[in-house]
Structure 1
Amino acid sequence: MTDWTAAVDVGTSAVKAVLLDARGRIRATGQAEVPSAHGEQEPEDWWEASIEALGRCGESVSRVRMLALTGQMQDLVCIGGARPLRPAILYSDTRAHGELAEAYRLLGPEWTDVTRNEQDASSLPAKVLWLRKHEPDVLERTELMLFGASGYVGWRLTGVGCCDVTTASTTGLLDAAARTWWPTAADALGLRDVLPRLVDGEAAIGTATSPAAREAGLLPGIPVVVAPGDAVSTTIGIVGDDPHRGYTYLGASGWLAVVVPEARVPRAAHRLLLPTPGRQLMIGAVISAGAAADWARRTFLPGMSAADADRLAAEAGPSGLLALPSLRGERFPVRDPLARGVIVGMTDTTRPDQLYRAVLEAVAFAFRTLLDTVPDNGVPIPVTGGGARSGLWQRILADVLGRPVLRTNTSEEVAALGAAATAIRAAGGRPPPPLADRDASTLLRPGPASMQYAKLAAAHAALHSTLTPTFQALQDKP
């Protein structure tokens, strides 16, 4: 390939754009904020922010000959009369908790098995039922449903309504084995005529129309690829898509993601299809990771900086405690909205720095629950996100996981880089290697403490199930 590729990642809070030259080098980046209301966003804000982010890449946009799109998944976008009929209901919105039981009655007990994911109030069938109950006119006027931000931007560019299989696997509407929309769900919900075309994320959905291309500063007629949704594009950008490669992310929330064959995985894990048949991304997502760490530092070590708190907790060694970081419910290793934070094992000699460290260890133990299901291929596990700046947390991860970890200098545009790599490969070019293979630092191998943590792993894995009745009792009204 001799031409440049642009990639756009349409996130919840911002759109990030990146331009890559023919050798896969980043030549320009741009970013624009996305306004947000609680649980909803205006799809047109995604489009306008995408235009702004591309514009901030400068005049080099004129060299782009292919555009790749990725972004947030599991959104509900209803289109009628060539425009959105209401704001998009986001993946994080759980207003449809009352409709979830109705969805299970409608779709039957096989719903989880067919979709290969445990369903909750964020699933699209529950949201569709919520619309049917509260905004029936929207459903009646809907001519096309889209399920991700990149699908909407792709529709604005090409006029083609589509959904990549990764995003589709988050919706609760996909027959994962067949990699097609599930007819039972489509018929039961009355969606057969409004579902978008499924694409594998490795082929152009169409070409940019002249009006849309002019608006975005692009050349008319360039191919547009809707790449895999953001979680898989991020994975491709960091470690690629080879089996048994994975990474951890430590932000306000956190997760461990591993590419695995399409086989049975822990029930609470999220499973997302990759473009390559036979592969899926297994994700153990912890609701409160960095958020729990910040809470623990403020609560147990008030006024202390993160660096000083880490230094104090590092000197103390393993806490000798077991904790759950579930301050706002939990998604992994269980799906339990009633789960709460817990610290077990305190005595009259327990110090504040031990309590703080126990919360960091708790996140690592949750990741270990998932990693223990994956063969150890000896490849280090990259650690990304803001929490990766903590040398203490990196050390805890290496010791608790029992695997070497690698701090990777990931960029904010990593999902866009993964989307670009997918598009370049689809066009017959050679994509740049993943970041973990070319831009890494600070390899940490498990240390002496790993044996101590290994003895506690089974006890930690049992904590959630042991305390489920307690969490329920705490929510029961007197």
Structure 2
Amino acid sequence: MRCTLGVDIGTSSSKGVLVTDDGKILASATRAHEVDRPHTGWVEMDGRVWWDEFVAITRELLAAEPAAQIVGVGVSGMGPCILLADEHDEPVRSAILYGVDTRATAQVTRMTAELGEDEITRIGGSVLTSQAGGPKISWVAEEEPEVWARAARLFMPASWLVRHLTGAYVLDHQSASQVSPLYDIEHERWHDPWWQRYAASIEQPPLAWADEIAGTVTAEAAAATGLPVGTPVITGTIDAWTEAVSVGAHGDGDLMLMYGTTMFLIATGTETLRTASMWTTAGAFAGSRNLAGGLSTSGALTAWLKDLTGDDYPHLLAEAAQSGPGARGLLMLPYFAGERTPIQDPDARGVIAGLTLQHGRGDLYRAALEATALGVRHNVDTMRAAGARIDRIVAVGGGTQGRLWLQVVSDVTGLVQEVPEKTIGASYGAAFLAATAVAPDTAPRIEDWNPIAETITPDPGLAAGYDTLFDRYLRLYAGTADVVHELAADQRGA
């Protein structure tokens, strides 16, 4: 039985699937993990965990289906992350994670002043923000010189797995385009002048596209994982882009909406669109471009409320449904971990407005769901204002299992969402990419692997009320930003 194996390294867990060549999931496995938050604004993870969990997941999947013939391996992972390793591929420090890690604000400011915002945008596509990899590399060089002196190579989760599986040192174009400002998006290559200025001691990873074969499983990797020697391994990419692949939301005019620990949006086209409020990146495939955005919290916010109240999701969802649209006069800003797009404000913080003694946890939970939906609306409006064509929206991720959250997002945004049959996410997309890479002449179609199962349509009767709430959402941020920024400074000092 011919199968591909896909593994994704996520923020809160690693997931793997074993998939037949017609898209059936034979087995799945998960390993939960936590990120480290040693200081306010820092979010890290020990990169060695990524390979350890890949090995454990792969062995579990192979044991579940001993008759499976593995013909290809797909990998993906959270990003952009900055994992620096020495010449022997030993990490020199924990990986610095994507935009939720906001430590490099001084480097963002300095590099922008040195290079010029217009020139940064012309070369790399996007202004520098907490999402950009370049300032985080500079942070290590400036703040941890002893660590920097040992750094020789740059990895992200997918490329770390590829290195261990095949020995290849490679990074995909999509991931590289988020190591701003070190990548030239128009010429699809590293921008040597700025690489030499900010990362000269780091060996440049050769570049490939996500669906290209990076190499084959070595004897050493086979002994560790149980995979056959010589099995092809794709280059892979960042998990959000692989999730878009998993549901077929990577065509011109598609928008992928990923419900996870954070919320992520990817609009796909062929034109390089530039706006200071969003991220312009290379796509997963040659010739494609993306305008992307992300909320710093979504599932993380609802999980916080669950832990705070000591109840479970089914009860909280039931109470949120009972609360009804508008959460009985509550309005929440979901910026509990700062915010990425479109406000690009690492010092933003959560705000709950309108609280009275009559409000309960169901109202708070409803307000949290509506807050993430209002954040999605803000992002979509900003994408469209920048010229993005959005014809079709596909929802993916663990949050799609809750119908109320999906309905709230459609009601608040006025958007129709398509929900595919399988929403397991990036690991499934990685397995699909591996299947297409090893059989290019008879490559499967994702529409056959994962057809649309449900469509969520907005309630037009709620549009006016949510229009008013969205206006208040924008004004609440503007009206509280000064005080919130002062509080954020106090938190850093503490």
Matches within 5 A, 1:351-390: 352=360, 356-372=365-381, 373=384, 374-375=388-389, 377=391, 379=392, 381-382=394-395, 384-386=397-399, 388-390=400-402
1:44 corresponds in structure 2 to 48
Contact 1:408–1:435 (8 Å) recurs in 2: no
Change (3 A) 1:9 1:296: closer
1:200 corresponds in structure 2 to 209
Of 152, 158, 168 in structure 2, the residue corresponding to residue 150 of structure 1 is 158
2:242 corresponds in structure 1 to 233
The structure showing larger relative contact order (alpha-carbon pairs under 8 Å, at least 6 residues apart) is: 2
Q: Which amino acid aligns with 1:29?
A: S
Q: Which amino acid aligns with 1:424?
A: A
SS in 2 for 1:340: coil
Q: C-alpha offsets along residues 284-330 of structure 1, whole Å, 9 cap, x if unaligned? A: 3222324444666888999993133123213x667566542222321
1:334 Cα deviation from its structure 2 partner? 0.6
1:58 Cα deviation from its structure 2 partner? 2.4
Inter-partner Cα distance in structure 1 for 2:12 and 2:260: 14
1:230 Cα deviation from its structure 2 partner? 0.8
Inter-partner Cα distance in structure 2 for 1:138 and 1:348: 50
2:410 corresponds in structure 1 to 398
Q: C-alpha offsets along residues 247-289 of structure 1, whole Å, 9 cap, x if unaligned? A: 4333443233332343435533233321334433333322232
Change (3 A) 1:343 1:143: closer
Q: C-alpha offsets along residues 61-87 of structure 1, whole Å, 9 cap, x if unaligned? A: 761122121112222233334231423
SS in 1 for 2:207: strand
Greater CA drift, 7-16 or 329-338:
7-16
1:112 Cα deviation from its structure 2 partner? 4.1
Contact 2:211–2:285 (8 Å) recurs in 1: no
2:13 corresponds in structure 1 to 14
Q: Which runs of 5+ in 1 are unaligned?
A: none
Contact 1:106–1:188 (8 Å) recurs in 2: no
1:131 corresponds in structure 2 to 140
Residue 103 (1) aligns with residue 111 (2): yes
Q: Which runs of 5+ in 2 are unaligned?
A: 38-42
1:217 Cα deviation from its structure 2 partner? 1.1
Q: What is the RMSD computed on CA atoms of the aligned residues?
A: 3.4
SS in 1 for 2:158: helix
Contact 1:237–1:415 (8 Å) recurs in 2: yes
1:468 corresponds in structure 2 to 481
1:324 corresponds in structure 2 to 333
Change (3 A) 1:462 1:177: farther
Of 433, 436, 441 in structure 2, the residue corresponding to residue 425 of structure 1 is 436
Residue 444 (1) aligns with residue 457 (2): yes
SS in 2 for 1:305: helix
Matches within 5 A, 1:18-417: 18-33=17-32, 37-38=36-37, 39-59=43-63, 60=65, 63-91=69-97, 92-109=100-117, 110-121=119-130, 123-146=132-155, 148-172=156-180, 173-191=182-200, 194-264=203-273, 266-293=275-302, 305-314=315-324, 319=328, 322-343=331-352, 346=354, 352=360, 356-372=365-381, 373=384, 374-375=388-389, 377=391, 379=392, 381-382=394-395, 384-386=397-399, 388-408=400-420, 410-412=422-424, 414-417=425-428
Change (3 A) 1:376 1:446: farther
Contact 1:248–1:256 (8 Å) recurs in 2: yes
1:350 Cα deviation from its structure 2 partner? 7.9
Greater CA drift, 122-131 or 361-370:
122-131
SS in 1 for 2:80: strand
Change (3 A) 1:266 1:99: closer
Inter-partner Cα distance in structure 2 for 1:439 and 1:458: 33
1:367 Cα deviation from its structure 2 partner? 0.9
* TM-score normalised by the chain length of structure 2: 0.83
SS in 1 for 2:426: helix
Change (3 A) 1:77 1:296: closer
Contact 2:210–2:285 (8 Å) recurs in 1: no
Q: C-alpha offsets along residues 415-460 of structure 1, whole Å, 9 cap, x if unaligned? A: 0211222232233132352599525236334331123323554554
SS in 1 for 2:268: strand
Change (3 A) 1:265 1:328: same
SS in 1 for 2:164: helix
SS in 2 for 1:201: coil
Inter-partner Cα distance in structure 1 for 2:458 and 2:9: 35
Q: Which amino acid aligns with 1:73?
A: G
Inter-partner Cα distance in structure 2 for 1:12 and 1:472: 26
Greater CA drift, 391-400 or 114-123:
114-123
Inter-partner Cα distance in structure 2 for 1:302 and 1:193: 48
Change (3 A) 1:360 1:199: same
1:121 Cα deviation from its structure 2 partner? 4.6
Q: C-alpha offsets along residues 319-375 of structure 1, whole Å, 9 cap, x if unaligned? A: 56654222232113311122233355x498985566653443222122112223154
Q: Which amino acid aligns with 2:408?
A: I
Q: C-alpha offsets along residues 369-426 of structure 1, whole Å, 9 cap, x if unaligned? A: 222315453x45426423x3444333322221112234555444x2021122223223
Contact 2:159–2:236 (8 Å) recurs in 1: no
Contact 2:62–2:226 (8 Å) recurs in 1: no
Q: Which amino acid aligns with 1:392?
A: L
Inter-partner Cα distance in structure 1 for 2:435 and 2:237: 13
Inter-partner Cα distance in structure 2 for 1:126 and 1:444: 41
Change (3 A) 1:290 1:208: closer
Q: Which amino acid aligns with 2:82?
A: L
Q: Which amino acid aligns with 1:72?
A: M
Contact 1:271–1:283 (8 Å) recurs in 2: yes
Q: Which amino acid aligns with 2:54?
A: S
Q: C-alpha offsets along residues 186-227 of structure 1, whole Å, 9 cap, x if unaligned? A: 110243761111111121112222222222212212221112
Q: Which amino acid aligns with 2:47?
A: P
Identity over aligned pairs, percent: 23
1:54 Cα deviation from its structure 2 partner? 0.7
